[in-house]
Structure 1
Amino acid sequence: MTSWSRDTDEQMGMTIRCQDNPSVAVTFCDRFSYDADSLHYAVEIQAPGMNARVDEVVAWVWDSDLAPFLEALATDYRGWDGERSWQTNDRDLAVSAVFRSGGHVGLTWNLRPWPNASGGWAASVTTWLEAGEQMSSLATDVRHFLAG
């Protein structure tokens, strides 16, 4: 399930909550752009006892963004075998998806800023959503967020 909110600087942000445990969440916020070729935004993940944030995830206009990946998952609401995955060009945000019986999709959101730097860190959470309408709504909301 996604929800929209206004950040303190009047920009829109969206939060994805796990239907099994609403304290597990992923937030997209602080969207900005330097030029017409890219969009920058922050991603925060939360779970009991853990908060992590990557301040500058970059979506390039020439690269496949997150929305088509989520739209493809929503289209396959009857399920699939194995794991499907997507990542940003810089690999600081990655999402993997699995389908479980009962029509639910598990999205594991991995944050890993500076993936090639020594001493870096990584964090992840998994949100569970219904394969049909909730996945379709999520794909639409992410497209809306990325489009501005």
Structure 2
Amino acid sequence: MTSPDDYTDDKPSVTIHCQDNASVGVAFCDRFSFDTDSVHYAVELRAPGLTARANEVVAWIWDSDLTTFLEALAADYRGWDGEQSWQTHGRDLTVSAVFRSGGHVGLTWSLRPWPQAAGGWGASVTTWLEAGEQMGSLAAQVRQFLAGEQQ
């Protein structure tokens, strides 16, 4: 399940909760932009015993868009074989998707800021959503968030 207002402050955000375990989730928040070529934002992962945050994930206008990836998953609500994945240009955020029977999509959100740095870290959580409506809603909310539109 997704919600544009689960995040505790009044700035635009999107929160994704796992339908199998509501304590597992992902939040997109703290969006800002220096120019018209990119959008910067934070991604937080939460699960029992885990809180991880990447403060400056970057979406470039010329890059493959996360919303395009999510919209394609929503459109393919009847499922697919194997795993599909997307990542930011800097590879600090990766999203992998699998389809399971019953019409559910598992999205594994992986953060690995500074992937080339020695002593870097990584964390991931998996959220399960309904393949059609919940995936479509997520795609629309992420598109609004990245565009800076009020939700």
Partner amino acid, structure 1, of 2:107: L
Deviation at 1:64, TM superposition (A): 1.2
Whether 1:30 aligns to 2:30 is yes
Question: Which contiguous aligned blocks of 4+ residues in structure 1 show a shift greater than 4 angstroms?
Answer: none
Partner amino acid, structure 1, of 2:102: G
Deviation at 1:7, TM superposition (A): 5.4
Q: 1:99 maps to which residue?
A: 99
Q: 2:68 maps to which residue?
A: 68
Q: Distance in 2 between matches of 1:101 and 1:84?
A: 16
Q: 1:120 maps to which residue?
A: 120
Q: What is the TM-score normalised by the length of structure 1?
A: 0.97
The gaps in structure 1 that reach 5 residues or longer are none
Q: Distance in 2 between matches of 1:46 and 1:143?
A: 22
Q: Distance in 2 between matches of 1:67 and 1:4?
A: 15
Aligned residues: 147
Q: 2:14 maps to which residue?
A: 14
- Give me the CA root mean square deviation: 0.9
Q: Distance in 1 between matches of 2:62 and 2:11?
A: 24
Q: 2:132 maps to which residue?
A: 132
Q: 1:49 maps to which residue?
A: 49
**More strand as a share of residues:** 1
Q: Distance in 2 between matches of 1:121 and 1:115?
A: 8
Cα deviations across residues 16-58 of structure 1 (Å, max 9, x unaligned)? Answer: 0000000000000000000010000000000000000000000
Is the 1:109–1:124 Cα contact (8 Å) retained in structure 2?
yes
Q: Distance in 1 between matches of 2:140 and 2:38?
A: 20
The gaps in structure 2 that reach 5 residues or longer are none
